[in-house]
Amino acid sequence: MGCGGLTRSEIGSEAYEEKHMVPATTNKQLADVQLHGLLHNWSSKYRNPCKKMVTVLLGERLREAMMYPESPAIYRHIVNGALDGQRLILRHLALPRPEFVRNHWIKAGTDSRNRRYWLFNYLAHPWYVKPTIVRRWGPGAWITRLLSFELLGDDGDKYSPDGYTFAEIGPQSLSGNGVKEMEDTRARLVQQRRGGCPFSTQ
């Protein structure tokens, strides 16, 4: 493609955005839902300042398309200053993480009795995260309480704290559907001759 192709692609993208990325109520509805999910665990008194900071990250064109007002200058200085500081730290001070301090999103092992999996971390909603004693009463949990955030387990079984199996993952209305059909298909494939296509029914 070459640098010339990239330049033409960028020019075309800019022209497309100017024509189609325009203010619309549907954009605002989508943005409101996404922000609600992003700030779900934050106390109501913090949500408005956080919303202004997120608005800074959107950029001018996307912000206008989502019909959000421009954030005050103080929020732009805070967000841009934090990003600049993070860039300098990562460039000059951050070393490769040893294994014991790396972020692990999913538990490496499984419960051998029922093959359930759990996640360690989450962004907005704590799907499949165990509300362990440490997560509810450890030092981090007390900081969470002081900030008026929700703790793991406060919503009961809403976010499946018991983990998941592959048959259960997905929309709750479809959880566990098709398990018998999958097992029947697996048994049929195992019994078939291995010389041809394993998906052939003949």
Q: From first to last of its 202 residues, what are the pLDDT tens digits of the chain?
A: 555 566 777 777 888 888 888 999 999 999 999 898 888 778 788 889 999 999 999 988 999 999 999 999 999 999 999 999 999 998 888 888 787 777 777 765 555 555 788 888 777 778 888 888 888 888 888 887 887 777 888 888 888 888 888 777 777 777 778 888 888 888 888 887 666 665 555 5
Domain boundaries along the sequence of the chain: 14-92, 103-175
Q: According to the model, what pLDDT value does residue 23 have? A: 92
Three-state DSSP at 169 gives coil
Q: According to the model, what pLDDT value does residue 140 have? A: 83
Residues 6+ positions from 134 with CB-CB distance below 8 Å: 141
Token couple for 178: 């098709």
CA–CA dist 194, 42 (Å, integer): 55
CA–CA dist 136, 150 (Å, integer): 10
Instruction: Write down the residue that tokens 């003949």 correspond to.
Output: 202
CA–CA dist 24, 27 (Å, integer): 5
